[in-house]
Structure 1
Amino acid sequence: MSLESAQASLNNLNAKVESGDVEGGKEALSEMKILMLDFPGTEEFIKISASALELGVLLSVAEEDLDAFARNVAQLKSYYASLSSFSSGSTTPKKCHILGLNLMYLLVDNNLSEFHSELELLSSSEASTPFLSFPINLERQLMVGSYDEVLDAGTHVPDPSYSFFMDNLLQTVRDSIADCVEVSYKTMKINDAVGMMKFDSREDLYEYIKECRDDWITDDAKDELCFQPPSGGAKASDIPSKKLIAQTLSYATELERIV
């Protein structure tokens, strides 16, 4: 196959993706992958192959197909490695975009060990791009429990393709906030809960309660949420504090005698 024909096939695939034609894009990608089997191992053809797989990654995000996403990223890594081996240091325009999406995928999957392994492969210039600095900052915020900042970040994604992973991540963060709220409070004003969990409306909160927290009680008369006490949980009054203090003092006395 000539380089011109390969580029024409790539342009066709790109046009499908840019227009939002997911089904047409999938067909074009399948045809492209068949053509790629006969591509020579030159820099130009490898770059075209990598660009095609990058478009495949964007198609899988548009279709919300995580299995296809993981497959395309796995294939891409070998092409990125091949491109980096050329003396020209060749790369693709979408590389940082795709690597950033992969970091988002690893965050949602809570695969932090691989997340940090991927970080080690980035150059400083790559890590500083908005596509990659966004998931890097998100991971730091999650690690220190800055959930407010994570929820706010959902409105500042570097590209619309990040929204799919961000929606999944926000659900995880809201679940963590809900876990903390229900053990920290007996009741909470509904508007306070809407603000704390960054919902757009009370209706969104009600939908979340219906789907994920059916043990929460909505008290419309008082305009508040009531949280059920944990069943079988120990209360402070149940802890034999005097007995524990006496035992601790006894152990300290014995230790002092030994020393």
Structure 2
Amino acid sequence: MSDLKSLITELHKSLDQKKLDAANEILSRAKRTLLQQNVLFPSASTPAQVRSQAREILELGAITSLRQMDSASFIRYYQQLQPFYDFERETSTSHESSKTSQRSKITGLYLLLLLSSGDTSQFHTVLEGLIVEASLEGRSVEDDPFIKYPVELERSLMEGSYDKVWRATKSSEVPTEDFGLFSNVLVGTIRREIADCSETAYQSLPISNAKDLLFLESEGAVVAFAQERGWSLKDGRIYFPAQADVVAPLPETTGTVEPVQAGHRPEKGIALASASVIENTIGYARELETIV
């Protein structure tokens, strides 16, 4: 027990000091200890304190992976944590364990990862389970701020309210600093989807409008983005390739979370229905410039 407790203390210290490489080294030692004590999976024969410590180590591992933007590792930790969360909910010690559990935060971050990856199918599968659980307990799933945040973002995305998404990722609405890590990811996802729709809806756009539309900070950034997409630039306008042409590959975006399913693009979760949505987005972006 003392070994696990000291490892947890070391992990917290490394994360507080933003020493992620050190945290990874401690996690390697911690997981070996969990394996040696046969507590990588919860069991009724395991003392409650040890189960709680094992769960906390895995939670800290998930946070470490997230801060390194390693989505595959984060997903593995999330999956390893589910038996612990299920066990705690189903046993009489659940109330005591919930005092230290970060289940809501980890689950909210997982939902946000799915949303950023465009995996709306899995997003709703997880959310529906949470809704049923909350209903049985006589509460709303959105009573939990960690769950409410990704749910409201997804709702805004489906409505095409990209100004709300942009504001939410830049404001005090972000539950914790870890949720803020997804700011560039979400805006990048929106930017690429808007770009896809722009190619379909228009033959060309003024660079100044594209700057507002794509939530880019300067016209220079628009030029760089246009070049990555294979768009033509002439006389202050962007000219999109004909639909018959081969569509340029998606550009790499700093901070982008890799797709959950390696090797193919996940289901799109953000759909732009028409040119009118683009026009609204341009208007929203212009309004934002006067606010920020």
Q: TM-score, normalised by structure 1?
A: 0.78
The 5-angstrom pairing of residues 222-233 of structure 1 reads 223-231=236-244
Letter in 2 for 1:226: Y
Equivalent residue for 1:250?
none
Does the CA contact (< 8 Å) of 1:43 and 1:83 recur in 2?
A: no
Point out which structure has higher relative CO (alpha carbons under 8 A, 6+ apart): 2
Letter in 2 for 1:16: S
Equivalent residue for 2:179?
162
Equivalent residue for 2:161?
146
What's the offset of the Cα at 1:229? Answer: 3.6
Question: Equivalents in 1 of 2:13, 2:162: separation in Å?
Answer: 38
Query: Identical aligned pairs, as a percentage?
Result: 29
Question: Equivalents in 2 of 1:68, 1:187: separation in Å?
Answer: 41
Equivalent residue for 1:238?
none
Q: What SS is found at the alignment partner of 1:121?
A: helix
Equivalent residue for 1:45?
50
What's the offset of the Cα at 1:28? Answer: 0.7
Higher helix share goes to which structure?
A: 1
Question: Equivalents in 2 of 1:16, 1:173: separation in Å?
Answer: 34
Q: What SS is found at the alignment partner of 1:158?
A: coil
Q: Which moved more, 1:33-42 or 1:100-109?
A: 33-42
Question: Equivalents in 2 of 1:82, 1:34: separation in Å?
Answer: 22
> What's the C-alpha RMSD, in Å, of the aligned pairs?
2.2
Question: Equivalents in 2 of 1:84, 1:19: separation in Å?
Answer: 33
Does the CA contact (< 8 Å) of 2:170 and 2:183 recur in 1?
A: no
Residue 184 (1) aligns with residue 201 (2): yes
What's the offset of the Cα at 1:151? Answer: 3.1
Equivalent residue for 1:24?
22
- Number of residue pairs aligned between Structure 1 and Structure 2: 226
What's the offset of the Cα at 1:27? Answer: 1.0
Q: Which of residues 105, 108, 113 in structure 2 aligns to 1:97?
A: 105
Residue 84 (1) aligns with residue 82 (2): no
Question: Equivalents in 1 of 2:93, 2:74: separation in Å?
Answer: 29
Equivalent residue for 2:70?
65
Question: Equivalents in 2 of 1:229, 1:28: separation in Å?
Answer: 53
Letter in 2 for 1:127: E
What's the offset of the Cα at 1:167? Answer: 2.4
C-alpha change, 1:203 and 1:153, in structure 2 (3 Å) is: farther
C-alpha change, 1:17 and 1:126, in structure 2 (3 Å) is: farther
Equivalent residue for 1:12?
10
C-alpha change, 1:228 and 1:18, in structure 2 (3 Å) is: same
Equivalent residue for 2:34?
36
Equivalent residue for 1:175?
192
Question: Equivalents in 1 of 2:109, 2:29: separation in Å?
Answer: 24
Does the CA contact (< 8 Å) of 1:47 and 1:83 recur in 2?
A: no
Q: Which of residues 143, 149, 158 in structure 2 aligns to 1:134?
A: 149
What's the offset of the Cα at 1:10? Answer: 0.8
Residue 195 (1) aligns with residue 193 (2): no
What's the offset of the Cα at 1:175? Answer: 1.6
Q: Structure 1 stretches (4+) deviating beyond 4 angstroms?
A: none
What's the offset of the Cα at 1:159? Answer: 2.4
Q: TM-score, normalised by structure 2?
A: 0.70
Question: Equivalents in 1 of 2:3, 2:197: separation in Å?
Answer: 58
- After superposition, the C-alpha distances for 1:30-83 in whole angstroms (9 at most, x for unaligned) are 111122231562222211111111111111112221221111111011111112
Equivalent residue for 1:249?
none
Does the CA contact (< 8 Å) of 1:32 and 1:52 recur in 2?
A: yes
Letter in 2 for 1:25: A
C-alpha change, 1:44 and 1:125, in structure 2 (3 Å) is: farther
C-alpha change, 1:133 and 1:8, in structure 2 (3 Å) is: same
Letter in 1 for 2:79: A
Q: Which has the larger radius of gyration?
A: 1
